[in-house]
Chain A
Amino acid sequence: MKNCALILFLAFAHWCTGQECYITISGRVMDRATHEPLEFTTVELQEYKTGVLSDSLGQFVFRNVCPGSVHIHFRHIGCPVEGIFVNITRDTGILFYLEHHGELLHEIKVEGQLESSNNVQQAISTAVLQERPHASLAEIASEVAGVTMIKNGSGISKPIIHGMYGNRVAVINNGILQAGQQWGADHAPEVDPLIASNITVVKGSDAIEYGSQALGGAIRLDPGPIRQDPHFHGDIMYGYESNGRAHLIAFKGNRSFSKIDVRLCASMKRSGDHAAPNYFLTNTGLKAWSGALQLNYRASDATKHHFYYSIFNAAPGIFAGAHISNLTDLEQALASETPFNISDQFSYTIVPPRQAVTHQLLKYAGRRFVNATTSLEWSYAAQYNHRKEYDIRRGDRSAIPALDLRLWNHVIEVKRNIEGPRVINATGLQFRFADNFNSYETGILPLIPDYKEGYAGVFTSFEFPGENLTWNAGGRYDLRLLRSWAITMNFPHQLVQRDHIDHESALAVGLKMTPGEKATTRLHIVGARRSPAPNELYSFGLHQGIAGIEEGDWNLQSETSLKLILDQSLEIEHLAHVQVSVYSHTIFDYMYLRPEPELRLTIRGAFPVYRYVQEDAWIRGLDVLIVSDFSHRLEWSGKASFIRGTRLQDDTDLAQMPPTQFNSSLAWTFKDSRRWKSVKINIDVSHLAEQMFWDEEAELLKPPASYTLLNAGFSTGFAAGNNMIYGSVSIENLLDLSYRNYLNRLRYFADEEGRNVRVVLRYEF
């Protein structure tokens, strides 16, 4: 785990000869987030089958160790177990940073990537990734305060950061901007969180590194460095979920050779119909598999190469009770107690409407240190995405996709990093090119026309570290060329080639003040300009499961955004860590879908029309996170987020803003025994308020009522020889509550999922 693997070897001037065992290994374990010593950490020497506890200063010592290689494991309550492999030839000192408060603000070092220490970003605890292997990226990211998700039924979800999603939230998979057809609410990001070792939510100024796509923030998935250990290590995981009767197997293995580190990941998942408390959500099954291969080649001390390939496949069904429906159907669905078209039998069958998506990523990156402070990085990545959507059609056409989109994407980047004592600088050039094309065999006019898009960008960022004050500044400029073959609306339909030239730019300034040891203040200001995406310009048609026709506007202009974040962290000793974030995001010429006053009459009935318009908007909010620090066995954490979005002109509310949310989580960790380790029980309460601020014109129905959900869990580790078996049982929606969620596009048709019992077994070797 890279979070924990910041290791310093201090070689003492103590020569030893011969094979006698008189070496001393001493060291200190620290909290990665707070840099405080971690008391009660169990440090084990695997080869000697011996362990010691760290003292109040986090210190530990092993004496009489023979020269040779050893595995050292670090265990601490509430932390995933971490280990290192070292070759011991003389007395050695080790400083180990353990991920203790993964949920707290993090300063993360990613191998081969220069990172600012002045970030407003939060990492997802590794424990979350391991205990919720079935979860989608959006569900995982929702663990962070200020992040929610927009859903299209079961299994299809996309993350919302500070009220923004889609074209305004960048998903960065292994340093590469995820290219997918992510413009619809029913298009989830095509990536498997299980292939990542680390998932980070970036809310602040450092998001500009990823261009205008990160206007609202970014979610980064990193495979993480591979431990340099000549033995084969990894884990095998099996997971079951009662709701949907989902089975999952996942494998992760890595091994280091003299110059090459290799990691292989694979996972498979199959689920059937999910269920609300009173009925099955027919046709909400999922078939998915993914894999990734990572090779790190250490050509020399100064030069490193990185190869990465990943493939993601998902075939979800779309809830049968939410067919494309006109206003009459919608009224009938609202009046009906249970949804239409559902079955009273559970089934694994997936029938149209359904989707089938494949995403592949191939990446090569290199890094070379020119001298002690300067390094050069270069990379190339290719992505291929294929999305097919099937509808219920006449004839044998249900087997022909109604939407069949392919996307090729290429990114080339060169970057120079200078890491001096007084200034840290990264400057680079980036080219991106996308080719998006429809199949003509669908027999249906495409929702998005064919297009090609090219970006050429330059970026630079500076950081000036200081004792109490660190400040950073960055800028990015992109030239965008877009060529689309738009479809005229009048008969006969024709293709019109349209070219756009746009300039995108972003400027960011950040300040980090550390007046005392215990408090940190961060202030970030980001200005950015984003040009309209092809879907905002040219989309046309009916979306799956959404009662409405979506129409782009050919004449949209760029939007300009200004975001301010003030983030205050406070450590109250032996009581709590507190983190409060206030933000204000003003977007001029904000592009969004607004319903037209007139309904559109078609042969399938009357539909509301949602058209992309531009108005000035203001989104602001507050995120609070509190983690207790009064006991190392009992831990409480609380989260709250408030958000409000309005139009500046008339102060009316924007649609689709996340409602106010509260979470409270209480966990108790038992004392480790010889066999049983990290035994933990937890109970979580989350409350979602009713959205009081909503756009009456944009919504067909009042937002659903508030609800409170109860979740509970039990997890444990079991020592089996030198290896560990981890098991967990967690129950979501413990009370089997029927409720509806404002941010689920299918809320008009059905309740959310009922109780779910999840069992996960993981064998680590």
Chain B
Amino acid sequence: MKYVFMVVITAAIVGACDRDPVLPNEEELITTLTYTLNAGDSIGTAVFTFRDIDGDGGQPPVISGDTLVAGFFYSGTITLLNESVSPAENITEEIEAEAEAHRFYFTGSSVTTNPITISDVDGNGFPVGLSTVLHATTAGNSVLRITLRHNADKSKPLEAAGGETDIEVEFPIVVR
């Protein structure tokens, strides 16, 4: 009897004043990074994409690499999207707006390319990395790592720059 009484009271309290929680709108999330490399009309465009629509959990991300041609210069652009909201949000603009606080680092592809040079600068004259130039040099396979740091010390190399990692993705690069 006492048990029934307790169940009723507790259930009444828990059940009472019910409400409908709402999921927050994940406007800040970056789901998709696209690195587009263009070597002009004759060679065409190579596209590298990292996409993880459901964030940190759930399904694993989908990564697609591409093939470059040795001996050509490519101009690269990075696009960041939040595709978890509809319509998709362009995060690239947020980086541009806070260019002083952000920098992309490109590492790991030295077997097949010359070091990637960053062609855009922020208001303090430091590199940003949304626009780059890539020179594919040697045929072969390598892995390109793109890192976006927030509040890093831009005067230092990646290993010593500190800051917060907003993005760290790797793409297979094939140069033929």
How many Å from the CB of B93 to the closest CB on chain A?
10
CB-based contact A600/B56 at 8 Å: yes
**How far is A719 from B53 in the complex, measured between Cα atoms in Å?**
71
Which chain A residues border B14 with CB–CB below 8 Å?
433, 452-454, 481-483
CB-based contact A445/B24 at 8 Å: yes
Contact segment of B110-118, B119-127, B130-138, B161-169:
B161-169
Looking at the complex, which one of B6, B84, B160, B164 makes contact with A336 (CB distance below 8 Å)? B160
Which chain B residues border A483 with CB–CB below 8 Å?
14-15
Given the known inter-chain contacts A456-B10, A601-B61, please indicate yes or no for A394 contacting B151, CB distance below 8 A.
no
**How far is A493 from B147 in the complex, measured between Cα atoms in Å?**
27
CB-based contact A444/B13 at 8 Å: no
Interface residue count on the A side (C-beta < 8 Å): 64
Given the known inter-chain contacts A394-B98, A431-B10, please indicate yes or no for A458 contacting B24, CB distance below 8 A.
no
Given the known inter-chain contacts A445-B55, A454-B14, A542-B56, please indicate yes or no for A603 contacting B61, CB distance below 8 A.
yes
Looking at the complex, which one of B11, B50, B164, B168 makes contact with A392 (CB distance below 8 Å)? B164
CB-based contact B21/A437 at 8 Å: yes
**How far is A328 from B170 in the complex, measured between Cα atoms in Å?**
12
Contact segment of B26-34, B36-44, B67-75:
B26-34
**How far is A7 from B136 in the complex, measured between Cα atoms in Å?**
90
Which chain B residues border A438 with CB–CB below 8 Å?
21, 24
Given the known inter-chain contacts A490-B59, A551-B57, A603-B33, please indicate yes or no for A443 contacting B162, CB distance below 8 A.
no
Which chain A residues border B23 with CB–CB below 8 Å?
440, 445, 487, 493-495
Within 8 A of B (CB), among A321-335: 321, 323-326, 328-329, 332, 335
The verdict on B52 contacting chain A, using a C-beta distance below 8 Å, is yes
Which chain A residues border B161 with CB–CB below 8 Å?
340
Within 8 A of B (CB), among A696-710: none
**How far is A366 from B52 in the complex, measured between Cα atoms in Å?**
58
CB-based contact B24/A441 at 8 Å: yes
Which chain A residues border B56 with CB–CB below 8 Å?
541-542, 549, 600, 602, 607
The verdict on B25 contacting chain A, using a C-beta distance below 8 Å, is yes
Q: Digitize B1-17: 1 where CB-to-A-CB distance is under 8 Å, 0 elsewhere.
A: 01100110111011101
Chain B, interface size category, equals: 35 or more
How many Å from the CB of B169 to the closest CB on chain A?
6
Which chain B residues border A551 with CB–CB below 8 Å?
57
The verdict on A24 contacting chain B, using a C-beta distance below 8 Å, is no
Given the known inter-chain contacts A394-B94, A541-B56, A603-B33, please indicate yes or no for A445 contacting B26, CB distance below 8 A.
yes
Chain A's closest residue to B15 (CB) is: A483
Within 8 A of B (CB), among A468-523: 479, 481-483, 485, 487-495
**How far is A394 from B168 in the complex, measured between Cα atoms in Å?**
16
Which chain B residues border A454 with CB–CB below 8 Å?
10-11, 13-14
Looking at the complex, which one of A444, A495, A540, A605 makes contact with B21 (CB distance below 8 Å)? A495
The verdict on B140 contacting chain A, using a C-beta distance below 8 Å, is no
Looking at the complex, which one of A433, A443, A455, A607 makes contact with B26 (CB distance below 8 Å)? A443
**How far is A138 from B74 in the complex, measured between Cα atoms in Å?**
58
The verdict on A450 contacting chain B, using a C-beta distance below 8 Å, is yes
**How far is A258 from B22 in the complex, measured between Cα atoms in Å?**
54
The verdict on A674 contacting chain B, using a C-beta distance below 8 Å, is no
CB-based contact B167/A604 at 8 Å: yes
Q: Digitize A541-555: 1 where CB-to-B-CB distance is under 8 Å, 0 elsewhere.
A: 110000001010000
**How far is A542 from B165 in the complex, measured between Cα atoms in Å?**
13
The verdict on A442 contacting chain B, using a C-beta distance below 8 Å, is yes
**How far is A325 from B165 in the complex, measured between Cα atoms in Å?**
7
The verdict on B150 contacting chain A, using a C-beta distance below 8 Å, is yes
**How far is A546 from B167 in the complex, measured between Cα atoms in Å?**
17
Which chain B residues border A495 with CB–CB below 8 Å?
21, 23
Which chain B residues border A601 with CB–CB below 8 Å?
60-61
Given the known inter-chain contacts A479-B7, A489-B54, A551-B57, please indicate yes or no for A397 contacting B28, CB distance below 8 A.
yes
The verdict on B58 contacting chain A, using a C-beta distance below 8 Å, is yes
CB-based contact B52/A602 at 8 Å: yes
**How far is A639 from B42 in the complex, measured between Cα atoms in Å?**
79
Within 8 A of B (CB), among A297-352: 321, 323-326, 328-329, 332, 335-336, 340-341
CB-based contact B162/A489 at 8 Å: no
CB-based contact A491/B10 at 8 Å: no
**How far is A587 from B95 in the complex, measured between Cα atoms in Å?**
50
How many Å from the CB of B55 to the closest CB on chain A?
7
The verdict on A78 contacting chain B, using a C-beta distance below 8 Å, is no
The verdict on A224 contacting chain B, using a C-beta distance below 8 Å, is no
CB-based contact B53/A602 at 8 Å: no
**How far is A453 from B59 in the complex, measured between Cα atoms in Å?**
31
Which chain B residues border A541 with CB–CB below 8 Å?
56
Looking at the complex, which one of B31, B52, B164, B168 makes contact with A324 (CB distance below 8 Å)? B164
CB-based contact B24/A440 at 8 Å: yes
Q: Which of B6, B53, B56 gathers the greatest number of chain A CB atoms within 10 Å?
A: B56
Which chain B residues border A332 with CB–CB below 8 Å?
159-160
The verdict on A63 contacting chain B, using a C-beta distance below 8 Å, is no
Chain B's closest residue to A456 (CB) is: B6
Q: Digitize A374-401: 1 where CB-to-B-CB distance is under 8 Å, 0 elsewhere.
A: 0000000000000000001111010000
CB-based contact B163/A443 at 8 Å: no
How many Å from the CB of B170 to the closest CB on chain A?
9
How many Å from the CB of A447 to the closest CB on chain B?
11
CB-based contact B58/A431 at 8 Å: no
**How far is A444 from B27 in the complex, measured between Cα atoms in Å?**
8
**How far is A449 from B22 in the complex, measured between Cα atoms in Å?**
10
How many Å from the CB of A446 to the closest CB on chain B?
7
CB-based contact A444/B50 at 8 Å: no
CB-based contact B165/A341 at 8 Å: no
CB-based contact B9/A431 at 8 Å: yes
Given the known inter-chain contacts A340-B163, A458-B2, A491-B59, please indicate yes or no for A481 contacting B54, CB distance below 8 A.
no
CB-based contact A442/B24 at 8 Å: yes
CB-based contact B84/A491 at 8 Å: yes
Chain A's closest residue to B161 (CB) is: A340
Which chain A residues border B84 with CB–CB below 8 Å?
491-492
**How far is A15 from B10 in the complex, measured between Cα atoms in Å?**
60
Which chain B residues border A487 with CB–CB below 8 Å?
23
Q: Which of A456, A485, A491, A603 gathers the greatest number of chain B CB atoms within 10 Å?
A: A603
Chain B's closest residue to A493 (CB) is: B23
Which chain B residues border A488 with CB–CB below 8 Å?
58
Chain B's closest residue to A491 (CB) is: B54
Chain B's closest residue to A391 (CB) is: B164
CB-based contact B28/A449 at 8 Å: no
**How far is A35 from B49 in the complex, measured between Cα atoms in Å?**
77
**How far is A549 from B91 in the complex, measured between Cα atoms in Å?**
24
Which chain A residues border B169 with CB–CB below 8 Å?
603, 605
Which chain B residues border A602 with CB–CB below 8 Å?
52, 55-56, 61
CB-based contact A392/B150 at 8 Å: yes
Which chain A residues border B15 with CB–CB below 8 Å?
483
How many Å from the CB of B167 to the closest CB on chain A?
6
Which chain A residues border B61 with CB–CB below 8 Å?
601-603
**How far is A491 from B82 in the complex, measured between Cα atoms in Å?**
13
CB-based contact A444/B26 at 8 Å: yes
CB-based contact B22/A440 at 8 Å: yes
CB-based contact A603/B11 at 8 Å: no
Which chain A residues border B91 with CB–CB below 8 Å?
394
**How far is A452 from B27 in the complex, measured between Cα atoms in Å?**
27
CB-based contact B165/A604 at 8 Å: yes
Chain B's closest residue to A329 (CB) is: B165
Which chain A residues border B7 with CB–CB below 8 Å?
456, 479
**How far is A495 from B24 in the complex, measured between Cα atoms in Å?**
11
A sample of 4 more A-B contacts (CB under 8 A), given A323-B165, A326-B165, A493-B23, is A341-B163, A394-B94, A603-B33, A607-B56
Can you list 26 A-B contacts (CB < 8 A)?
A: A323-B165, A324-B164, A325-B165, A340-B161, A340-B163, A394-B94, A394-B150, A395-B94, A431-B10, A431-B13, A438-B21, A444-B24, A444-B26, A444-B28, A446-B24, A454-B10, A454-B13, A456-B7, A479-B6, A479-B10, A487-B23, A489-B54, A495-B21, A602-B56, A602-B61, A604-B168
Counting from the closest, the 4 A-B pairs by CB-CB distance are A340-B162, A605-B168, A491-B54, A456-B6
